[in-house]
Chains A and B, each alone.
Chain A
Amino acid sequence: MARYILKRVLYMIPTLFGVAAIIFLMLRVVPGDIVELKLRGDGAAVSQETIDAERTRLGLNRPVHEQFAEWMIGVATFDLGKSMWTETPVIDEISNRFTLTIQVAIMATIIAILLALPLGIISALYKDSWLDQIIRLFTIGGLAMPSFWVGMIIILTLLNVFNWLPPITYTPIWVDPIANISQLIWPALAVGYRYSAVLTRMIRSQIIEVMLEDYIRTARAKGVFERLVIGRHALRNALLPAITVLGLEFAFLIGGLVVTEQVFNLNGIGRLFVQAVTKNDFTLVQGIVMLIAVIFIFTNLLVDILYAYLDPRIRYGGK
């Protein structure tokens, strides 16, 4: 097991550096930089000298390979530099908003699991029944509706039917849990719905596949109660791949939040990211994308380890 984990962690390092390199290179081909936008953005007449001075101060005039080396060393030492716009360290900008985003992401995951487990199991066990058809409709809907629109429909309903809107200002959960949850549950629902749809389909197809296996027939032939057959033999095997989907979809989730935060006026990472992109704030964009990629890579690492822990075939197998 330790060997397996070590191998996975070692594999991760080049991927992380690849991510850092690609973000950097993508942003350096952007035409026009922050300085033009910052000083001339509101139409002010600013001399070329001032612009050049500002470029030099921000280090944008230095050769690309020097900037690249600095960024890579920064990444390796957990120093993501300063925002080019506000001049505050990127780490501070991000951590201010990180708790909000991660809380919504975790709530959405919980909602997704709570929905997907029963729905997936029911639709697999009553395959092709009317119940299965309804659940199928529910999941295809989840895949088709953009989560930001689901969010808008939620607001629309709350406003027009219940005459109520969630609080606008963010309160940390440890200050006032009720105010916090009554604000964040809605975006979590909007994003979690889509997430649950993916998961439900996965669980359904896995259970259906597993139910055809020989060992299920054997268990039934032995006279094991159907409930035990399903609970102990089928579910255990069927839910394993669902864990992988859980990890993969976590990245999707953060992606969904980039747009959904906009709908709910939440000041999270996603909003910060869009602002940073429109302002050409390279260091901030790099920092956020790096963070999101790191979260994605680590979730998948955790999922792989968990998977290997639960399924010895992977630990000992040649793969």
Chain B
Amino acid sequence: MAVTAATPPATAPIPKKRPPVILDFARAQPLAAFSMFFIVSLIIASILAKWIAPYDPFALDFGVMLQPPSADHWFGTDNFGRDVFTRVLYGAQTALMIGILASFVGCMIGGVIGVVSGYFSGRFDFIVQRFIDVMLSFPIIVLAVVAVAMLGKFLVFGVDLNLVIAIALPIVPKVARVVRASALTIREMPYIDAARASGFSPMRIIFRHMTPNVFAPFIILFAAFVAQAILLEASLSFLGLGVTEPTPAWGLMLSGNAADFYREAPWMIIFPGLAISVTVFAFNLFGDGLRDYLDPKFKL
């Protein structure tokens, strides 16, 4: 009897080359991939606003006040004759910059608190958790409004960093809670025991061994909270507590003047609000798809 078992069959299937992650994602989550495409386009358009916007966002032109949407002014003009489409485009700069930055800051701080609190458990964890309980007892907008009033303005390159912090603040406890839950399950993994047995310091275990493994929930939270942060920025600006005139911001465009022209110029209300909704919609859809792709069991 010939010994053939040891030799591999000549027609062994050649291991398939894995498609690029992005294509795999697009196949599994087409809607989310489309949202991602929209978000990326919006980011690029807002960066290039200076070159692609048809008008100057600040130029007053009283000759064309309150014009309805037309070929010249796609979204119409406001009560100062400013082009609404241009201002919506520039508004995307504000919204994305503050939204992404605030979500990032909030998720980073919340993530670190969550992992550290989950690792140490015991009394330290108990105290941190009670503090988070307290922070979660404030509705997010209430916390953000108080924080805005407390911090005042701090402009760096035209971005109000204190506004970013105020929006990030309510995100921190929520992220900390979720990340802690992930950290608690990871802590029980054998490789953490192994690291501890090897005598690694807690810092090294937390940052080298645990943090990479809470990355999936982290990135999902990040996408979800960009949407929240954009909504929060719009709300604060609408209340007159966020971005201030003449900076084009979606929430700001809806406050004050727009409300006086419900009958004369509904486009002043419709388009900035649509911009907020579509952007938040895209981030939500992207976040949902990302969750289903990376970690279907994960609950936000």
Contacts and interface: CB of A to CB of B under 8 A. Distances in A.
Interface stretch (B115-123, B129-137, B201-209): B129-137
Contact of A160 (B139, B140, B239, B266): B266
Contacts of B262: 152, 155-156, 159-160
Interface of B: 130-131, 133-135, 137-142, 145-147, 149-150, 152, 227, 231, 234-235, 238-241, 251, 254, 258-259, 262-263, 266, 269-270, 273, 276-278, 280-281, 284-285
Interface centre among A148, A252, A258 (most CB of B within 10 A): A148
Interface in A149-175: 149, 152-153, 155-156, 159-160
B137 A297 contact: yes
B134 A18 contact: yes
Q: Which A-B residue pairs are the 5 nearest by beta carbons?
A: A255-B139, A18-B134, A149-B273, A144-B281, A255-B141
A154 to B, nearest CB: 11
Contacts of A146: 231, 234-235, 238, 251, 273, 276-277, 280
A15 B263 contact: no
A316 to B, nearest CB: 23
Nearest to B239: A274
A280 B138 CA distance: 19
Contacts of B280: 143-146
Interface string A232-254: 00000000000000000001101
Contacts of A273: 142, 145
A26 B137 contact: no
A160 B263 contact: yes
Contacts of A30: 149-150
Contacts of A35: none
B149 A262 contact: no
Contacts, number: 132
A144 B149 contact: no
Contacts of A293: 137-138
14 contacts: A18-B133, A22-B135, A27-B146, A27-B150, A30-B149, A140-B281, A144-B280, A145-B273, A146-B276, A149-B269, A251-B137, A274-B239, A274-B241, A292-B139
B254 A149 contact: yes
A285 interface: yes
Nearest to A259: B235
Given A19-B134, A149-B254, A152-B273, A144 B142 contact: no
Contacts of B147: 26
Contacts of B266: 156, 160
Given A30-B150, A160-B263, A255-B140, A152 B269 contact: yes
- Give the size category of A's interface with B: 35 or more
Nearest to A201: B288
A154 B225 CA distance: 27
Contacts of A31: 152
A22 B269 contact: no
A76 B278 CA distance: 46
B133 A15 contact: yes
A14 interface: yes
A22 B238 CA distance: 26
Contacts of B135: 22
B226 to A, nearest CB: 12
A30 B254 CA distance: 28
A29 interface: yes
Given A27-B146, A144-B227, A144-B277, A153 B238 contact: no
Interface in A258-314: 258-259, 262-263, 273-274, 277-278, 280, 285, 289, 292-293, 296-297
Interface of A: 14-15, 18-19, 22-23, 26-27, 29-31, 140-141, 143-146, 148-149, 152-153, 155-156, 159-160, 251-252, 254-256, 258-259, 262-263, 273-274, 277-278, 280, 285, 289, 292-293, 296-297
Contact of A289 (B138, B227, B251): B138
A104 B76 CA distance: 34
A278 B239 CA distance: 10
B150 A149 contact: no
Given A146-B231, A146-B234, A277 B145 contact: yes
A144 B241 CA distance: 21
A256 to B, nearest CB: 8
Contacts of A297: 137
A22 B254 contact: no
B254 A289 contact: no
B130 A14 contact: yes
Nearest to A149: B273
A255 B141 CA distance: 6
A145 B277 contact: yes
Contact of A15 (B134, B278, B284): B134
Interface centre among A19, A26, A254 (most CB of B within 10 A): A26
B261 to A, nearest CB: 10
A145 B235 CA distance: 11
Contacts of A26: 146-147, 150
A258 B130 contact: no
A105 to B, nearest CB: 12
Contacts of B238: 146, 148, 259, 262
B269 A153 contact: yes
A26 B166 CA distance: 12
Contacts of A274: 145, 239, 241
Given A22-B134, A259-B235, A278-B240, 8 more contacts: A18-B131, A144-B276, A149-B269, A152-B273, A153-B269, A252-B140, A254-B139, A262-B238
B130 to A, nearest CB: 7
Contacts of B145: 258, 273-274, 277
